[in-house]
A and B are shown apart, each in its own frame.
Chain A
Amino acid sequence: MQHFAELFIASVLLAGLYAAMAFGLGLIYGVLRIVNLAHGGVIMAGAYAGWWLYETVGLDPYLSLIPVAAAAFLFGVVIYRLLVRRLPRGAAGGVQSLLLLFGVWLILRNIAYLLFTGNDQTLRTSYSTKALSLANASISVNRVAVFFIALAILLFLHLLLRKTYLGKAIRAVAQNPDSCTLVGIPIERIYALTFGIGTALAAAGGLLGATLFPFSPSFGSAELLKSFVVVVLGGLGSIAGTAIAALILAMVEIFSILIPGFPVYLTAAVGFVLLVLVLVLRPGGLFGQRVLG
């Protein structure tokens, strides 16, 4: 029972990290219908930005979430204005958007190699190895912090999309951009803001990841794949679905160790098997394809 409780806590905390990394990808797909492959590059850039702020000015990684997310937001808006805006909309722009954003990712990665070399970096704070005791289990302070920040991001997105004019406009654009033009919603601005918010969330996710494990310029590839699994499982465009899917993925990965004879190195594959099953049986995701619900 104790072992089970420890595994459950570990799954919930891991889900927080997965959700934090996937929100941005889900938001951008939900509104622009673009699979943002630059998401992996921004996750990596967020990790380096947080590390750089900590190493140079001593800013705590959790405090640096604000400037890093703000810078990433601006970066996202610029990328949208300069590049993404020129792509054909909808399915017609599918392949072009994949190639273009993959190119952005490669550029970001190579800039990181130039600036920081291929060395692994780590963020070490005074509380990096501190633990809390809960249900006789030792839990990393960092993992708890990441979980609560992921919850805060979920709440922020919910309030933004439900309670603000911008959120309502984002949802409207996601539902029917043509009608939005008719009623005077500036859809290009909404797209740019959404791309900016999605990019900011990716950078925040990367920074949170950097508080837990080492990173290098190749950081972001595995995270992008996990985010993709989470977003598809949760139903493209569903923010709450993303959070629940992150929990399901984390639980499947963590609890698979209890299967006798199951090799632990295959836990990552479990997520992809789940992805294939969902795509075959429920192509809209476990919680149905929603428009930013």
Chain B
Amino acid sequence: MDILRPATKLAAAAVCCAAVATAPARAQTEIKIGATLPLTGAESRIGGFYKEGYDLAFEEWNKKGGLDVGGKKMKLNLQLLDDTSTQATAASLADRLINSEKVNFLLGTYATNLVEAQSVVAEQNEIPYVNGGGAATAIYKRGYKWVFGLLSPVEILATSMMEWVDSEQKAGKLPKPASIALVWENTSHGKDFRKGVTEFAEKSKGGYKVVVDESFELGGKDFSALLDKVKAANADMFLADAHLPDYITMQRQYVTAGMCNKVISYGARGPEKQATDALGKEHVQYIVSAVWWSSQLADKNKLAGDFVQKFKAKYGGRNPEWYQALGYETARTLFTAIEKAGSLDREKVRQTLAQLKIPSILPGGELDFPAKFGQQVHAPFVVQQNMPDGKSPIIAPPDSALAKGIAPNPSCAKSASK
């Protein structure tokens, strides 16, 4: 008996340990997904849009009983915090979600600078981090294994737009060579835009010539000197990359200076209602823009069509913008990866994300995270043009186009004849 006593104790201890060790696994009936968004502060408007996308995705899957993880249905629980549009808060909240709230996975926030800060925390803690709010290639050039981005780089924005310009040039509507006045905000967004345009121009072998290449400070108060330079260069195309406030200020000065170029663009900006209200429909027409997604894709892509329908049903018939679409698609991608991995093991889900190739609501209809691009999606952009009727139909790429683009800008002919 004396000999058996220690063995009995050992066995009892082992049973207890096993019970303790298996207790959390048994208790976990839901998947905790952490996220932060800029719900207050400078980016609060867009943060709210992303939240709508996340909410729709979580509601949709929870209505279906949750995710199927290795044959077991598990509900989804979104732990969403407000990062107040500041980098430091975004990073510290991500740390809190991982280490205090013990979330299984992370969804990203919005805006490149916030994603840049937050992704470092995700990488250090080795937790899959899927984001739809950081486009700058700098985020994905750091060799991170745990960070996945759904926003295509801004270089592709420039390339998609230049491909449309090129088709117009080949059709004889634009001169060859065409001169470009390139003006970009001094941010990683602007630098990527510049890279896309200049590389396209270089590869064109004489098709395009950049005659002005200037950057400007975000939130500028006066662009007259810059626009003077553009005017003096007498370029065929005016291609700028700007945020909404700078787009409005610059375009207002552009119009009052009596300027007109055969092609005019402000990068991703163009069709915003705020800009039309601020400048007047007649002063934004024929502006070309390129965005990550448009609700017009619903006509060409079944998944996008389903998403638009669900969004309208939940949000009072309102059409989603690209922000909500990216929020939804980011969450949907993570859900798909968890189901395919069949496990909540972070490494397994990371590997599944790295190899994922699924149909998508994004332009091109397919989504993957190529390792050669640092696990950043490289989907094409949709190019739109503001028309005199106030609509901004997709004019490129050809497989998504709903209308034919107009070049050269007819407003120039009108202003020249005055």
Contacts and interface: CB of A to CB of B under 8 A. Distances in A.
A7 B215 contact: no
Given A214-B245, A265-B186, A120 B215 contact: no
A182 to B, nearest CB: 46
Given A10-B228, A264-B226, A265-B215, A138 B256 contact: yes
Interface in B239-273: 244-245, 248-249, 252-253, 255-258
B274 A119 contact: yes
B215 A129 contact: no
Given A120-B274, A138-B256, A265-B216, A113 B41 contact: yes
Contacts, number: 117
Contacts of A268: 217
Interface in A75-122: 113, 117-122
A274 to B, nearest CB: 16
Nearest to A137: B257
A14 B223 CA distance: 10
Contacts of A118: 40-45, 85
A17 B226 contact: no
Q: Among A10, A218, A222, A263, find the residue whose CB has the most chain B CB atoms closer than 10 A.
A: A10
A113 B44 CA distance: 9
Interface residues of B, number: 38
A157 interface: no
Contacts of A218: 42
A257 B212 CA distance: 12
B120 interface: no
Interface stretch (B127-135, B146-154, B277-285, B388-396): B277-285
Report the contact-size class of chain A (Cβ under 8 Å from the partner): 35 or more
B232 interface: yes
B260 to A, nearest CB: 12
Q: Among A113, A118, A138, find the residue whose CB has the most chain B CB atoms closer than 10 A.
A: A118
Given A129-B252, A213-B245, A265-B186, A124 B277 contact: yes
Interface of B: 40-45, 85, 185-186, 214-217, 219, 221-222, 224-226, 228-229, 232, 244-245, 248-249, 252-253, 255-258, 274, 277-280, 283
Given A14-B221, A118-B44, A128-B280, 5 more contacts: A139-B256, A212-B249, A257-B226, A257-B228, A265-B216
19 contacts: A3-B228, A3-B232, A6-B224, A10-B225, A14-B221, A117-B45, A118-B41, A118-B44, A124-B277, A131-B257, A213-B249, A214-B274, A214-B278, A215-B245, A222-B219, A253-B222, A257-B226, A264-B225, A265-B216
